[in-house]
Amino acid sequence: DGGITQSPKYLFRKEGQNVTLSCEQNLNHDAMYWYRQDPGQGLRLIYYSQIVNDFQKGDIAEGYSVSREKKESFPLTVTSAQKNPTAFYLCASSIFLAGVNTGELFFGEGSRLTVL
C-alpha cells in the first residue's frame, strides 16, 4: 500500500545529542514537509521541500536540519542546538500538479521524541 513511513515511532535522547528522524514515502509525491506538534499549539512547519536537492525553512527551523537526496526520503535531524526538542514530529507529502498545488497533505504516523 502507498503511504508515508516514519521511524522510529518513539525515541529518547539525552541532552546534547543529535537525532535523525526518518521519513519515507512511496506515493511518488514531489513535495515533502516536516511539522512539529506541541499540545495546545497546533502544528508548526519546520522545513519543506518542493523537489529533490531543494528545501526551504519553515516557521521554526532553528535547531533542525534536513536533506532531500532522493524523492522518496526527507530525513529530519534534531540537533543539540534545538532548545526544547521534546515534541511529536509529523512528516507529510503532497502532489505537485502542473505548478499549482491544491492537493491535500498525506501524513505519516509521527515520531515522538523525548529528551531526558
Partner 1 sequence: AQSVAQPEDQVNVAEGNPLTVKCTYSVSGNPYLFWYVQYPNRGLQFLLKYITGDNLVKGSYGFEAEFNKSQTSFHLKKPSALVSDSALYFCAVRDIGGGATNKLIFGTGTLLAVQP
Q: Which residues bind partner 1 (CB under 8 A)?
A: 4, 6, 31, 33, 35, 40-45, 48, 50, 58, 88, 90, 92, 94-96, 99-110, 112
Please, what is the minimum distance in Å from the beta carbon of residue 108 to partner 1?
5
Dist. CA 69–CA 54, nearest whole Å: 9
Going by C-alpha positions, the residue among 69, 89, 71 that lies closest to residue 20 is 89
Going by C-alpha positions, the residue among 94, 59, 64 that lies closest to residue 79 is 64
* CB-neighbour burial class of residue 96 (10 A; exposed 0-12, middle 13-18, buried 19+): middle
Dist. CA 39–CA 93, nearest whole Å: 23
Q: 91 vs 115, which CB is nearer to partner 1?
A: 91
Q: 3 vs 62, which CB is nearer to partner 1?
A: 3
Q: 17 vs 101, which CB is nearer to partner 1?
A: 101
C-alpha cell at 36: 512539529
Q: 60 vs 80, which CB is nearer to partner 1?
A: 60
Please, what is the minimum distance in Å from the beta carbon of residue 67 to partner 1?
17
Please, what is the minimum distance in Å from the beta carbon of residue 36 to partner 1?
11
